A and B are shown apart, each in its own frame.
Chain A
Amino acid sequence: MEKDIIDIVTEKEFVELSAQEREELKEFCSSEEEFNQLKGVFIGVEAMGAETYTPKPETKKRLDDLFYESHPKAAPVWYSSVLAVLIPKEKKIHRQPLMQIAAVALLLILIVPFFSSDSLTADADYVAQEYTTTLEEDALTDDEAPVDESLEDPITNSQDAIVMPSDGVISNGVILNNISVIDITTTNGVAGSGSVDYAWTAAEPDFSDHPDGIFAGDVSGELALSQPASESTDLLDLLTATF
């Protein structure tokens, strides 16, 4: 509480009053005797002590009921407390935890691809370098040693490769589409190595029942071939009709 003239009267003696204070008090007390009388009353009242009262609990209860009636309490929902923490209404939007979490997540989403693309670029560079080195090494190898072509043949080199029989006869033709490359073999020639019995092909009819397969071959069984369809007009026609 701020000090006013009554506090000054209570605290000070008449002789201690400043000229301004005396001027202010002049209309209420002109002499020291009057001043002391006033002072006595003020101190006496203060000495009585402040009256303290405790309100009845019933009064508070009535007011509480009235308060809940005027401000109905919302039913507690399990997520209310979570929302109260994440989206406190008293905070500005940029200070709300939910917004801050969202901002961090957005930053991560934007930043992570940059790091990923850097690593991809580095990997691509490394692969390109490796590829170049391999090519150079291959070139050197090609120059140095002739390669047995049969070894590079994906079919003849494979254990599962179809190998022409020793007599060199493919009686009923060649299955295309299912085999990428087949050496052209004549009755007199043998390509590849190893031996696989092609007797099953002879037992089969002249066409394949495989849905994707195109069967082409000499009915007489003397010649079977596999070549690009564009080089064989018959085969091309067959393909065109198929598709």
Chain B
Amino acid sequence: MTDESLMIAVAKGDKRAFDEVYARYSGPLIGYFMRMLWRDREKAEDFMHDIFAKLVRRPELFDPTRKFKTWVYSVANNMCKNEYKRAEVRKNTSNGLDSSYAVSDTNTNVFHEVADRQFKGEFDRCLADLDDKHSEAFKMRHMDGLSIKEIAEILDISDGTVKSRIFYASKYLAKSLKEYNPVLNR
């Protein structure tokens, strides 16, 4: 059953359809929010909950003619943008300590399977150095597994712009990680 037909069933109050949508998207959405929101597991969980709560309360918000995957990621992306704005306000009104950047998930198993821990650390640092629009497109493509077309739809930009952002980020990462050359090291 497609995501779109499941959502039609959810709108009619089908609990099993809701469970199926939840099973398909809860994990990937938490991962997306983790990457986008400073690896804050609690915040990621809350944001994922908020998205599904929206689906339950107002299922008519989803247009069945659209692809559910791109729609839900665009909602998630907008939520992250709003969070960035709120964080900016908090940063300006705080005592100078940015609490959100300090939070990290200790339970995550990210990168545990990769042997070169140094490379991973450097990769994260380089990715964080990139500006948001480039890192965002790069993460969506390589970590969330979205296609260029899907990213373009979610971010409401052209395919060419997505490609450009991804390749810019890739070039930056390649230059920064040149000494770690992951391919040559394996």
Contact = CB atoms under 8 A, between A and B. Distances in A.
A70 B1 CA distance: 24
Contacts of B26: 55, 59-60
Q: Say which size band chain B's interface belongs to.
A: 35 or more
A108 B84 CA distance: 72
B119 A44 contact: yes
B15 interface: yes
Contacts of A50: 31, 143, 145
A62 interface: yes
Interface in A57-95: 59-60, 62-64, 66-68, 70-71
Contacts of B64: none
Contact of B30 (A45, A46, A47, A53): A53
B147 interface: yes
Contacts of B113: 48-49
B27 A6 contact: no
Q: Specify the main secondary structure of chain A where it touches its partner.
A: helix
Contacts of B183: 36, 39-40, 43-44
B interface SS class: helix
A70 B57 contact: yes
Interface in A9-41: 27-29, 34, 36-41
A62 B108 CA distance: 23
A175 to B, nearest CB: 86
Interface string B156-186: 0000000110110011011101100111101
A37 B175 contact: yes
A47 B182 contact: yes
A55 B147 contact: no
Interface of A: 1-2, 4-6, 27-29, 34, 36-56, 59-60, 62-64, 66-68, 70-71
Interface of B: 13, 15, 18, 22, 26-27, 30-31, 34-35, 44-45, 48-49, 52-53, 56-57, 108-111, 113-114, 119-120, 123, 141-143, 145, 147-149, 163-164, 166-167, 170-171, 173-175, 177-178, 181-184, 186
